[in-house]
Amino acid sequence: MLKGNTKLLVAAVVALVVIIALVVVPPMLQEPEPAPKAFTVGVVLSTGGRGDNSFNDAAIVGLERAKAELGIVYTYQEPKEVPQMEEFHRLFAQQKVDLIVGVGFLQADAIRKVAAEFPNQKFAVVDTVIDLPNVKSLVFREHEGSFLAGALAAMLTTTNKVGFVGGMQIPLIGRFEKGFAHGVEHVNTLRGRNVAVLSAYIGTTGAAFRDPVRGKELALAQIAQGADIVYHASGGSGQGVFEAAAEKGVKAIGVDSNQNWIKPGSIVASMLKRVDVAVFGAVKATKEGAFVAGASSFGVKEGGVGLTDLAAVTDVEKAALKNDAAQIALIQRMKDAIPAEVRQLITDLAAQIADGRIVVRSE
């Protein structure tokens, strides 16, 4: 009987030891799966850098959206001169980021060279077309949006003279000028007007996009000749155009991003070039394994270009002004002064461009 009890006792002790071992010393588990690697993007901005209130900042807006919605991680470089661009692209390629984004046509030579050296590295470039199997080109029909800016200027001018200030004198910026002039001509024909366009360019190098002093000089010269609305396509140099307009009590039209808040009450509209949408789309497609080389073109039809809201102050404008009621009121009063028939005409012209009834001149 004792032997039986002893066996039971031993069995109970063994069972207890096993239970304790299972509780105190957990069984060997498989190593947890490593966290998925974040999708990384390297960005080379154009020479105007961040804070240009133009297409560099628009690209950052798209990347911030990708960060919030897609969980990507991005870093950016700000070259001061064009030769630095190649160095930054090569640096990102050596780091093996998932996608390199080059902002602006000045990136073309650098990307062609580095993309050829790193054929497995994916690139996206804004404002130029590069025919390589690992490069996605994001281009815009700026002339279409500029047509609307020209039509607006022609409808609002009281002096029958409007101005255009371009940055670097190259075909890309020429498309802004040609579209703007075409819009003015269209209104002249449509409404029997005789509005003239005064045009000037800041320079012939990339520095033309960061020279607000010269931008102001050119705008003041046009205003002195009678222009009461000046449209610019000059990157950071446009700050000088806005200063000239505000000082002389005339109106300006911004470009690339919503610039209406920079000089509230002086900037009647901005021609939006949705670099943010294009960059976000390129990042999203690449992250989802749907990268396709070649060119994508964004115009009025695709929502890639167009004018800012001509009737109501937008959330972008309010946020940029930090909800300053007095500044917001200046913008609203300016928009209220735009006749309803003018707003309707711009809407109608945009629809005609989108469906092909109006083909905007780009050359």
Average pLDDT value for residue range 145-170: 98
Q: Do domains 40-140+277-298 and 142-272+309-354 have the same CATH topology?
A: yes
pLDDT for the residue numbered 295: 97
pLDDT (0 to 100) of residue 2: 43
The predicted model scores a pTM of 0.85
What's the pLDDT tens digit per position in 39-66? 999 999 998 889 888 889 999 999 999 9
Q: How far apart are CA 32 and CA 35, in angstroms?
A: 9
For the beta carbon of residue 345, count every other beta carbon within 10 angstroms. Answer: 18
pLDDT digits (tens, 9 = 90+) for 168-198: 999 999 999 999 999 999 999 999 999 999 9
Q: Where are the alpha helices (DSSP H) in 126-170?
A: 142-156
* 305-340: pLDDT as tens digits: 999 999 999 999 999 999 999 999 999 999 999 999
Check: CB of residue 107 under 8 Å from CB of residue 128: yes
CB 114 within 8 Å of CB 86: yes
Read off the pLDDT of residues 31-41 as tens digits, 9 standing for 90 and up.
666 667 899 99
Alpha carbons 333 and 312: distance in angstroms, whole number: 10
**Average pLDDT, whole number, for the chain?**
92
Q: Which two tokens mark 25?
A: 């010393």
Q: What is the mean pLDDT of residues 118-130?
A: 98
Superfamily of domain 40-140+277-298: Response regulator (3.40.50.2300)
- 193, 219 contact by CB (below 8 A): no
> What is the architecture, at CATH level 2, of domain 142-272+309-354?
3-Layer(aba) Sandwich (3.40)
Which pLDDT score, from 0 to 100, does residue 31 have?
61
pLDDT tier for residue 1 given thresholds of 50, 70 and 90: very low
List phi, psi (to 5°) of 91: -60, -45
How many residues are listed for the chain in this entry? 363
Instruction: Report the SS3 class of residue 161.
Output: strand
Locate the domains of the chain by residue range: 40-140+277-298, 142-272+309-354
Contact present, 296 and 275 (Cβ < 8 Å)? no
| Side-chain half-sphere CA neighbours of 348 within 13 A | 10
Residues 6+ apart with CB under 8 A from 157: 195, 228, 229
Label residue 10 exposed, middle or buried (CB < 10 Å: 0-12, 13-18, 19+).
exposed
DSSP character at residue 207:
G
> How confident is residue 30, by pLDDT bands cut at 50, 70 and 90?
low
Q: Is the pLDDT of residue 23 over 90?
A: no
Mean per-residue pLDDT for 208-225? 97
Report whether pLDDT(14) > 70.
Answer: no
Distances (CA, A) of 60 to 31, 146, 239: 38, 23, 19
**92-109, pLDDT tens digit by residue?**
999 999 999 999 999 999
CB 179 within 8 A of CB 142: yes
